[in-house]
């Protein structure tokens, strides 16, 4: 189906290798389909006892969705390809759900860049997921950078992060490393980059039924090497500022704090889409009381509303297509964002019986 997703079986373990290094393994629709096909086949194969997802390159597990594709087909008519955009998000979110509830250990080697859609294919649920990071890990949900919002289940896992740390990551789009990922609960184990070759050999040599436990034993001596978490050190400040009742309140709180960490966060917020920051905050508030399937269904409707509005198309144009780094956000200021604008994003797109993710 695609040359960018390689699959093999070793000792009862299904191994997926993403091999699109020039694009940092950015996900195409064909890649999403290849992943889903492999995982569905292995889910129902009694000879497969665990799954590992990894990259052919130490630079990235996956940098997200193919945003050039989003821009190209998002501006097209259905005849010109926009139907593929609908397919992409429906199938990607269904894949995220499949991974979250996978009935076998799902082991993600989160070496290098793991952002956006990469997080969606790495965040196995508490019943199956085992997530390994290295000192090269660069983790983020940076969708606000391009006028989108944290999707691929991000509404769920960010709204369940400690305190207001998920709000901080979602609104700033900030990148964090291994220690922060562990503190956030978005990673489980640390392995030094220089030992990843040994870990790959362990995967090949260990029976799948024993693999998850063997990896935990292998990684145990390295946990202290992950370093200190800056987010843990800044937890009180983040909880206080990002606990404000609105995005405007968050920015006002940050503006009143001269600490460099607060000022850096404020600088990031000033670059983001005012509308999508407000939509993202509302999404996280709602997601805190929803299960995974309902979070993904909410995100699927939000994606439709976002492309209808066009904010993501402008963001991708400015940052990726024209590279002028000067997006013309609509509205351009936070003061011009009204509650009605935000509420519009959460209006149902389909009747419940017709929702593309109704079967989750």
DSSP for 293-332, written as a single string = HHHHHHHHHHHHHHHHHTHHHHHHIIIIIS-------SSS
Residue 142 and residue 312: Cα distance in Å, rounded?
12
pLDDT value at residue 164: 98
Alpha helices in 45-81 (DSSP H): 67-74
- Residue 133, phi then psi, degrees to nearest 5: -120, 165
Beta partners for residue 8, in sequence order? 15
- Active-site residue (options: 64, 112, 117, 154): 117
Is 299 considered catalytic here?
A: no
Beta strand 189-190 with 13-18 is unpaired
- List CB contacts of 26: < 8 A, sequence separation 6 or more: 20, 62, 63, 64, 65, 66, 67, 117
Residue 163 and residue 236: Cα distance in Å, rounded?
9
Is 92 considered catalytic here?
A: no
pLDDT tens digit sequence for 187-211 = 999 999 999 999 999 999 999 999 9
Is 151 considered catalytic here?
A: yes
Helix (H) or strand (E) holding 131: strand 129-133
Residue 296 and residue 301: Cα distance in Å, rounded?
9
34, pLDDT greater than 80: yes
pLDDT value at residue 69: 86
Residue 231 and residue 158: Cα distance in Å, rounded?
14
- Looking up tokens 């460099």 gives 260
- List CB contacts of 50: < 8 A, sequence separation 6 or more: 12, 13, 14, 104, 105, 106, 107, 208, 209, 211, 212
- Active-site residue (options: 143, 180, 282, 299): 143
* CA distances in angstroms from 315 to 43, 144, 196, 213, 349, listed in the order given: 38, 9, 36, 43, 23
- What count of other Cβ atoms lies within 10 Å of the Cβ of residue 193? 14
pLDDT tens digit sequence for 120-152 = 999 999 999 999 999 999 999 999 999 999 999
* CA distances in angstroms from 114 to 109, 152, 217, 237, listed in the order given: 10, 13, 24, 26
pLDDT value at residue 81: 78
Confidence category of residue 2, pLDDT binned at 50, 70, 90: confident
Residue 253 and residue 249: Cα distance in Å, rounded?
6
Beta strand 50-55 with 5-10 is unpaired
Q: Report DSSP state, residue 27.
A: B
Beta partners for residue 130, in sequence order? 107
Confidence category of residue 72, pLDDT binned at 50, 70, 90: confident
- Active-site residue (options: 65, 129, 154, 166): 65
b vs e for 225-238, b when ≥16 Cβ sit within 10 Å of the residue's Cβ?
A: ebeebebbebbebb
266, pLDDT greater than 70: yes
pLDDT value at residue 32: 97
pLDDT value at residue 66: 87
Is 143 considered catalytic here?
A: yes
pLDDT value at residue 25: 97
- What count of other Cβ atoms lies within 10 Å of the Cβ of residue 244? 17
Q: Report DSSP state, residue 356.
A: T
Q: Read off the pTM.
A: 0.96
Residue 269 and residue 223: Cα distance in Å, rounded?
33
pLDDT value at residue 70: 86
Q: For residues 13 and 49, is the Cβ–Cβ distance under 8 A?
A: yes
Q: With pLDDT > 70 as the criterion, what percentage of the chain qualifies?
A: 100
Residue 272 and residue 145: Cα distance in Å, rounded?
6
79, pLDDT greater than 80: no
pLDDT value at residue 1: 60
Mean pLDDT of the chain: 96
Residue 287 and residue 225: Cα distance in Å, rounded?
34
Give me 56's structure tokens. 């052919």
- Active-site residue (options: 92, 151, 299, 314): 151
Q: What is the mean pLDDT of residues 322-351?
A: 96
């Amino acid at each position: 189906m695609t040359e960018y997703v390689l699959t093999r079986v070793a000792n009862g373990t299904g191994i997926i290798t993403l091999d699109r290094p020039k694009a940092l393994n950015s996900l195409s629709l064909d890649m999403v389909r290849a992943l889903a096909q492999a995982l569905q086949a292995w889910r129902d194969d009694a000879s497969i006892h665990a799954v590992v997802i990894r990259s052919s390159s130490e630079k990235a597990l996956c940098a997200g969705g193919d945003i050039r594709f989003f821009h190209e087909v998002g501006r097209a008519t259905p005849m010109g390809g926009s139907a593929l955009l609908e397919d992409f998000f429906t199938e990607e979110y269904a894949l995220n759900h499949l991974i979250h509830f996978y009935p076998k250990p799902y082991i993600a080697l989160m070496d290098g860049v793991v952002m956006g859609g990469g997080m969606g294919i790495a965040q196995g649920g508490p019943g199956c997921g085992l997530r390994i990071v290295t000192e090269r890990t660069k983790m983020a949900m940076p969708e606000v950078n391009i006028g989108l919002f944290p999707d691929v289940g991000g509404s769920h896992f960010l709204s369940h992060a400690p305190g207001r740390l998920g709000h901080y990551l979602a609104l700033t789009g900030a990148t964090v490393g291994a220690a922060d990922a562990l503190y956030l609960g978005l990673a489980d184990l640390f392995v030094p980059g220089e030992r990843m070759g040994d870990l790959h050999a362990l995967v090949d040599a260990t029976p799948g039924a024993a693999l998850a436990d063997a990896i935990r034993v292998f990684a145990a001596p390295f946990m202290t090497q992950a370093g200190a978490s800056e987010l843990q050190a800044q937890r009180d400040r983040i909880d206080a500022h990002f606990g404000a009742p609105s995005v405007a309140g968050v920015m006002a709180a940050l503006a009143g704090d001269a600490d460099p960490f607060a000022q850096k966060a404020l600088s990031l917020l000033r670059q983001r889409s005012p509308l999508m920051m407000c939509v993202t905050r509302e999404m996280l508030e709602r997601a805190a009381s929803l299960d995974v399937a309902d979070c993904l269904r909410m995100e699927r409707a939000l994606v439709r509303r976002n492309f209808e509005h066009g904010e993501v198309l402008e963001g991708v144009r400015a940052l990726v297509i024209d590279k002028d780094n000067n997006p013309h956000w609509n509205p351009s200021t936070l003061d011009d964002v009204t509650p009605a604008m935000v509420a519009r994003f959460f209006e149902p797109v389909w009747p419940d019986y017709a929702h593309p993710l109704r079967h989750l």
